[in-house]
């Protein structure tokens, strides 16, 4: 196990096998468990900012059947209010937790906007980068991803919501820019997943529309991810605090999967897996 305060020896480790392609080849939606090691997450506050609590939660999600653990050390609360975190602080939160999560034996994704954090995590053994700004925030991110051969989750984002725009057109234009950046950096197309970023830079109505029109994103011919877990648009439809939005989360995720989503990012692994299995059984009955 890597010591949390010691530089990673394999800083230039490449992801030679595409772990996402291998998992997606199973032909079923994958479940990505969310692990926020932050004091200000919108969904679980600072429940897992303590390293031991975070590691125990990761173990629980693996036991429940998560295919991937997505670990993030900076809050990216989709409706604003999260304070920017310095590189040093993000690394301070991440280092005590990442080695133990990596030891659990399933693929680990690093949820970060910073290329330096992605570099550290990939060097330590993470195999996927989840960039909530779709390679358009840190100019070094695409280079790092390409150099490591890592799969990347490209998410649509906006600085703020604008109810007047055509949100689907905005998502398509954003993804076109991201894919151009990826191509220029040398990121293989078969290592890119698209995420429309439910709740990020979107009104509640726009988030609902994106889920309703999720199938439109199939035009990119790339795997699609949905991350609607506990998002605020659910509260607009059926008022409830974040930890009481499981029903709405499952409804949104099942709708997106029915329209092509192949990865579901969720805080509630066991319940999501059960819902996906039952939905699949109904379709095949």
Output the six-digit token pair for 86.
Answer: 């310095």
**Active-site annotation holder among 231, 232, 236, 245:** 231
Residue environment code for 92-115, b if the CB has 16+ CB neighbours within 10 A, otherwise e:
ebbbbbbbbbbeeebbbbbbbbbb
3-state SS, residue 264: strand
Q: Is 231 a catalytic residue?
A: yes
**Active-site annotation holder among 148, 191, 245, 265:** 265
Residue environment code for 48-64, b if the CB has 16+ CB neighbours within 10 A, otherwise e:
bbebeebbebbeebbeb
3-state SS, residue 18: coil
Taking the C-alpha atoms of residue 281 and residue 285, their distance in angstroms, rounded to an integer, is: 6
Q: Is 202 a catalytic residue?
A: no
Q: How many CA atoms lie within 13 A of 133 on its CB side?
A: 15
Residues noted as catalytic: 231, 265
């Amino acid at each position: 196990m890597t010591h949390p305060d010691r530089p990673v020896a394999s800083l230039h480790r490449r992801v030679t096998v595409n772990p996402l392609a291998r998992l997606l080849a199973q032909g079923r939606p994958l479940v990505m468990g969310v692990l926020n090691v932050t004091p200000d997450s919108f969904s679980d506050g600072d429940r897992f900012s303590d390293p031991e609590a975070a590691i125990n939660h990761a173990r629980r999600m693996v036991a429940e059947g998560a295919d991937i653990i997505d670990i993030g050390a900076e809050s990216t609360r989709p409706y604003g209010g999260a304070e920017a975190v310095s590189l040093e602080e993000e690394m301070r939160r991440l280092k005590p937790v990442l080695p133990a999560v990596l030891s659990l034996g399933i693929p680990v994704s690093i949820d970060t906007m910073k290329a330096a954090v992605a570099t550290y995590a990939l060097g330590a053994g993470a195999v996927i980068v989840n960039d909530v700004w779709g390679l358009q925030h840190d100019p070094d991110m695409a280079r790092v991803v390409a150099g490591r051969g890592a799969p990347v989750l490209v998410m649509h984002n906006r600085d703020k919501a604008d109810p007047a725009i055509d949100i689907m057109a905005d998502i398509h234009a954003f993804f076109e820019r991201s894919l151009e950046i990826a191509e220029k950096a040398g990121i293989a197309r078969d290592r890119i997943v698209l995420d429309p970023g439910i709740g990020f830079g979107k009104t509640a109505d726009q988030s609902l529309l994106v889920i309703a029109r999720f199938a439109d994103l199939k035009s990119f011919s790339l795997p699609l991810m949905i991350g609607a877990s506990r998002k605020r648009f659910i509260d607009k439809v059926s008022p409830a605090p974040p930890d009481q939005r499981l029903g709405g989360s499952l409804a949104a995720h099942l709708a997106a999967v029915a329209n092509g989503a192949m990865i579901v990012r969720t805080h509630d692994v066991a319940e999501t897996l059960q819902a996906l299995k039952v939905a699949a059984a109904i379709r095949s009955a």
